[in-house]
Structure 1
């Protein structure tokens, strides 16, 4: 009982340890998930802000390209030059061709063009267009629309302020910004008023060129939890692996403890069986020796008693040899051999001495079988010894054999 209680205590302590390790692993994984979730939220907000800035920059570049196409069109803007002899500079004159009202022309000289041009040349045209385009690009970055002429200013303001930022460009820029942060979760960009309350979403940004004039957009993510778990796959995989290793160690330790318990039981059974095996032939030798000493016998009877003593002595020697060679109860400790079951039973009966007269056995011919001879002989001796010991001294003990196609049944019947 103390051994069983100790094993139970070990099992309880191991179970508590495994439960503690499991709880710690779950807590560790959950903490990592929360950290990853906060990092994800920060990254998508930064990426969305970056995408909006990139989309604004693309919008400005698109307006600059439109402006360049307008002033490059002779049918819309006529560009002429003349030489200013006082300031020693070429003066460029830009005039709207079709407009009749408002400020339709502007004159200027530029520092980047120092050549004298009395009439417009391709080089001069390229210089003035490049200068104006660069000037407009710099002003748009500051949020300023410069009116060179009334028509150009109106067109520029219309294109810059009233044409919304292209949604496909914003999607593309947001995807690029997310890619820099290795975020591949699917998303949608919607107006904040149409947002349906998804768990993971970005900050809301007004994408109007003028503050408060454009739509307020935000992005939300679909199945972001799956993406986060994918990011944590190594952490989760490591935790699961550690748990499996812990459970495997627990199982192996439990198996070893149970095996040790079984070995202890087998050891106790072995000692008990060996005690019985040794006691039986010793008792037979003692009874036979006392009979020889106390009573007078004929030479034939004395020889019979001596044969019994020698037979039981041989049994003890055989048993001692098995113990010394590491034999154990059960098949596998001894190789099988073919024996005559009839002779095996007769030898067992003969070893009982005078008690053999109470044995009734009618053999039915020769029965040869491959068996563990020593183990079968000991089992038969034990059965006969117990049958004689626990039955009336006047009753008979009957041995019978039944042979089937695959098995041999040996029964010992007494009237105890």
Structure 2
């Protein structure tokens, strides 16, 4: 069953409706722009967070490397006179001119106890062994004491050039290829070491504690300053793909919005021009059609029987033509929402008989069989006589057009759920399911049969739909191929 729905038509769009559509569309575009702005801001925030994380990781690597270098430096300082050297590859301590090898030196942090393991081979006397053990104990103690504090001479002994190169290498390893300034600050805020352009009050200063394993109460800090311009450039470059995607998406939305609004306004203009043309055309047709009808009436009164017969045909066809012109005119008025119904209480049975009378000559010519069953006990409705009669006439006209051979029509009424239900059916060629979906569209004509021999504009059911809905009723169509079609109209009853 094809259930009729009121299709949106550009011509039905008043200026107020168009303004509402434009406003809502604009709000949607603004919402998209706002969401894109939030997305970009979040992307930049993530980029900044990643940048900060990378710089802090680089500083940790710098401190770890400097701590390692400090161990080498302190150890060599205390063992330079003893003939020891540091094997940086294996981190073992080796005495260069003897066969003493110190495998490891460790510190028990839990009990603050110093331990060492030694292996002594081929010493001449036990006294030499003990002397070496005592000397090693002294050296290890001095080394661990120096390593446990972050002394001033340790910081200043570092070279600015070495710090710069170490920081640069660590930053590059973490994907940060920007300029920077650096400094070493003690606990009182004094800069022990700094690059030429370092500004301790500048933004974007990253810091980390030097000698994190030191037992000293006050430890020095390594400071790195990244220029804001370099940081911003890095953040924007990391978010470049997101920005491009966002810009393309916003541009697409804006272009779509512009094309949509332009199309609506263009269609509105075209529809207005079309309706003006239809109004002028139909009014121009109505005058000659009325003249033809008057001439036919005059011939019927003065002519012979044969003349009267032909005059009746002329009169009937002029009425049919006038009905079609009126339908076109009313469709134009419906599109402009200018139709004013002259509502009054009417009997649908009377209107059905009047509609059937319009096709008296056609019914006789085709020897059509019309079966009526007016079973509705409450047939009164609040309706416009002209428009509702035209609705019934359009349905009957379609039943005659799409019936091959001798047409058989059934017109039935009944009361159901506070409605008057009118069914007009035929035993014609019917239509497919696909055709039923579009049968209420304006200017649509079913492709069944020879449509060139079936006259019409495809406006009848579209007009019927809108008129029935203005009467607060419903209209539906059910059809079976090669078996016929049933059109059902339901209207609210009026209890007198």
TM-score, with structure 2 as normaliser:
0.38
For CA contacts below 8 A with separation 6 or more, give which structure has more relative contact order: 2
**Structure with greater strand share of residues:** 2
